[in-house]
Structure 1
Amino acid sequence: MSDFPWVRFFPSDWLAGTRGMSAVETGVYITLVATMYERGEPIPEDQARLARLCGASNSAFKKALDTLIEEGKVTRVNGGLWNDRVEKEKVYLSEKSEVARRAGKMSAEKRKQNQEAEATPVQRTFNGRSTKPEARSQKPEATLSSVAAPPPAQIDFDHLQSKLTDAVDGKIQPHGSFVVGPIAELVSNGVSLELDVLPVIRSKAEKMMRPAQSWAYFVPMIREAYERRVAAGRALPPPPKIGQSDDDWARRLRFARKRSGWSHDEWGPAPGEAGCLVPPHLLLPDDGRGWQELKAEPKRSLVA
């Protein structure tokens, strides 16, 4: 049985790729590609045998094969005949299988740890004496701690492929779009698709003069953006603790009205903005209109 009993098939790609080919060429092409998937390796170029496999005469098969090779549909390699798309799909399926294998292994290890923990005898103390736990006649109730934790988020390769393709807006070679392993590895290690991956790809795609060869091209830039975001989060100072009484807000409002400004850093959203912390009964109708951002220096004057 083939290591890859199924493959992705995109009808629109197939129709576009075979448009203009004869019925014999199309039949030979799909039979050769299916055989490559079945074997998982190049096909020995025994034209007589392959002609019988494709149900064509030797001359018709040779003519069709010459056309397929000339158009780049089939290539000659040391091992025989091969197809670039088959190679890309092999890589895709291998990566997807590896991610699933890792997740399954982690889940199995977690279940084993939980089972070992449940099987460990727990001694109880009664009147200062140590006793063995009583035998249980029924299964213990399931608790959150006794249920195996879910494996890492399963990566939907098709969904990831779609999101990446939309973000890159055509700035990647068609064959490169099928190997999403480098990006999937980042996401599986905690890099955010929405906060790190997609913004970098959109930004770089706008400035690219020619398409990238693969998703791996973006990996160093995504890592750098991720590290910057994490470092910036660590460097953020804790939110200031300020008084929340009516007197505290009344003083700030007097200062803000006098300066026609508001310090978002110290006081949060301004009047009229979502999340404003000022008690509504202290606000005037024009508070917040046309106010500018006030600098936090000097601090003493902002709470006068």
Structure 2
Amino acid sequence: MSTKMPWIRFYLDDWTSGTGGMTPEQRGIYIMLLIRMYDKKSPVKEDFKTLARICNCTQKKFTTVVDYLIKNDKLIQTDEGLWNLRVEEELKDFTDKQEHISQVRSEAGKKGVQAKMLKKQFANDFVEANDKQNDFLLQANDKQNQAIQNQNQIYKKTNTIVLSKKKMLQKI
């Protein structure tokens, strides 16, 4: 599963009320910095020359806007760079949900494997039971054939005895 955020939650009311007093340039730079934070999942390094180029403005304008954003608690400065606490909350929520999804999928996978193994075991047990039943039927059939042969031999012996008695009686 990818750990990259394919999208972010964008609360329109929060954005509108939170950026209400900003100029379009300030909003543009602010959203570009937020997007970069979401994308990198870390604070943005304070390389103002590169960041100004990314935001399509001069370094002087970029510095002025960043100072404004820090002063108005939209960004904070950390040892790693510029950061936003809302981004941190959203990233944590995203990570928690991904871990939950991963756990659910893992459990589902384990259940699937167990079901497959049980199905296989059931099939093996069925084949084994069927083989045993066939063996019992063959044994029963053999015993029945043996009994019939014994019956026939007894009949032949009885018939032979009866015939010999008749022959003896005829001779008399």
- Provide TM-score, normalisation by structure 2: 0.71
Bigger Rg, structure 1 or 2: 2
Residue 51 in structure 1 maps to residue 58 in structure 2: no
Name 2:77's counterpart in structure 1.
76
Name 1:149's counterpart in structure 2.
none
Name 1:126's counterpart in structure 2.
133
SS in 2 for 1:114: helix
Q: Which amino acid aligns with 2:48?
A: Q
Q: How many residues align?
A: 131
Cα gap change, 1:129 to 1:32, in 2 (>3 Å):
same
- How far off its partner does 1:128 sit? 7.0
Deviations along 1:183-240, one digit per CA (max 9) or x if unpaired, are xxxxxxxxxxxxxxxxxxxxxxxxxxxxxxxxxxxxxxxxxxxxxxxxxxxxxxxxxx
- How far off its partner does 1:59 sit? 1.3
Name 2:24's counterpart in structure 1.
23
* CA–CA distance in structure 2, aligned partners of residues 62 and 35 of structure 1: 17
Deviations along 1:270-300, one digit per CA (max 9) or x if unpaired, are xxxxxxxxxxxxxxxxxxxxxxxxxxxxxxx
RMSD between aligned residues: 2.0
Q: Which amino acid aligns with 2:92?
A: V
- How far off its partner does 1:2 sit? 6.8
Task: Indicate if the aligned counterparts of 1:4 and 1:40 stay in contact, CA closer than 8 A.
Answer: no
Cα gap change, 1:130 to 1:14, in 2 (>3 Å):
farther
Cα gap change, 1:64 to 1:130, in 2 (>3 Å):
farther
Deviations along 1:88-121, one digit per CA (max 9) or x if unpaired, are 0001101111111111111110110111111121
The answer for unaligned runs of 5 or more in structure 1 is 132-304
SS in 2 for 1:129: helix
* CA–CA distance in structure 2, aligned partners of residues 15 and 42 of structure 1: 23
- How far off its partner does 1:129 sit? 3.5
Name 2:156's counterpart in structure 1.
none
Task: Indicate if the aligned counterparts of 1:43 and 1:81 stay in contact, CA closer than 8 A.
Answer: yes
Deviations along 1:4-35, one digit per CA (max 9) or x if unpaired, are 22111111110010001111111110000001
Q: Which amino acid aligns with 1:118?
A: K
* CA–CA distance in structure 1, aligned partners of residues 137 and 112 of structure 2: 29
Matches within 5 A, 1:177-216: none
Name 1:114's counterpart in structure 2.
115
* CA–CA distance in structure 1, aligned partners of residues 137 and 83 of structure 2: 72
Name 1:98's counterpart in structure 2.
99
Residue 40 in structure 1 maps to residue 26 in structure 2: no
Task: Indicate if the aligned counterparts of 1:74 and 1:82 stay in contact, CA closer than 8 A.
Answer: yes
- How far off its partner does 1:127 sit? 7.0
